[in-house]
Amino acid sequence: MSVKRVLQYGEKSLREPSKEVHKVSKKIQELVRDLLDTMYAKNGVGMAAPQIGENVRVFVVDVSKNDEPLNPIVFINPKIIKKSGAIVAQEGCISFPEAYTDVKRYANVMVKALDRHGRPFVLEAKDGELLARAIQHENDHLDGVLFIDHCVNRFETDEILAKHNLPPIEPEKLADDSEIDKELSK
């Protein structure tokens, strides 16, 4: 459909929780196409509806590599139903141009959602692979949570944000990652 403007960190609606989708309508189908077009245009691996100003529970992910055919996965009303393990990895976000920092994530997740046609599916992503991290990252967007809320080092992350002229971390938004911390300390 079209490439949309991506909201940047600091814009209020990135912090707002998204509403459930009640019907996979033509409007939702169009939103999915816009998300995919925008994600591919920005060379991202994921894009959530709030990032283009639509606060509904929809995101897309494509972790295919350069030499592989595109393999987009659409998640409507996703719910992470199982999570385990832990990993620290560097993440970035299209809403934070050029800013990357180490974040804590679950290594394994199982998610249930609806596909672009409204059919339910369950997907498991394991071993801290990009797909597992991308699902968590994009799902967080639907709750107004950003990747920096899971940062390993708040002060280092603030320096990275400042270097890219982005606002500092909001300390009250930092995630309670105690379960992940417990896993990491094993």
Residue 177 has φ and ψ, to the nearest 5°, of -100, 30
Question: How large is the average pLDDT for residues 82-100?
Answer: 96
Instruction: Provide the annotated active-site residues.
Output: 138
Closest CA to 166 of 95, 89, 104, 102: 95
Q: Which fold has domain 12-184?
A: Peptide Deformylase (3.90.45)
pTM, rounded to two decimals = 0.96
Compute the mean pLDDT over every residue in the chain, rounded to the nearest whole number: 96
Q: Cα separation of 102 and 154, whole Å?
A: 10
Sheet holding 73-84, edge to edge: 46-48, 58-61, 73-84, 108-114, 120-125
Question: How large is the average pLDDT for residues 27-50?
Answer: 97
Taking only Cα atoms into account, the Rg of the chain, rounded to an integer number of angstroms, comes to: 16
Q: Cα separation of 167 and 52, whole Å?
A: 19
Provide the pLDDT for residue 56.
98
Provide the pLDDT for residue 22.
96
Residue 130 has pLDDT above 80, yes or no: yes
Question: How large is the average pLDDT for residues 143-156?
Answer: 97
Contacts by 18-22, CB closer than 8 A, 24 or more apart: 18/48, 18/49, 18/50, 18/55, 18/56, 18/57, 18/58, 18/141, 18/142, 18/143, 18/144, 19/55, 19/56, 19/57, 20/56, 20/57, 20/77, 21/56, 21/57, 21/58, 21/76, 21/77, 21/114
Percent of the chain with pLDDT over 90: 95
Residue 66 has pLDDT above 90, yes or no: no
Question: How large is the average pLDDT for residues 44-58?
Answer: 97
Strand-pair partners of 158? none
Question: How large is the average pLDDT for residues 8-17?
Answer: 95
Question: How large is the average pLDDT for residues 26-51?
Answer: 97
Is residue 109 within 8 A of residue 29, CB to CB? The reply is no
Provide the pLDDT for residue 186.
83
Question: What tokens appear for 111 in the block?
Answer: 């998610």
Provide the pLDDT for residue 1.
65
Question: How large is the average pLDDT for residues 101-110?
Answer: 97
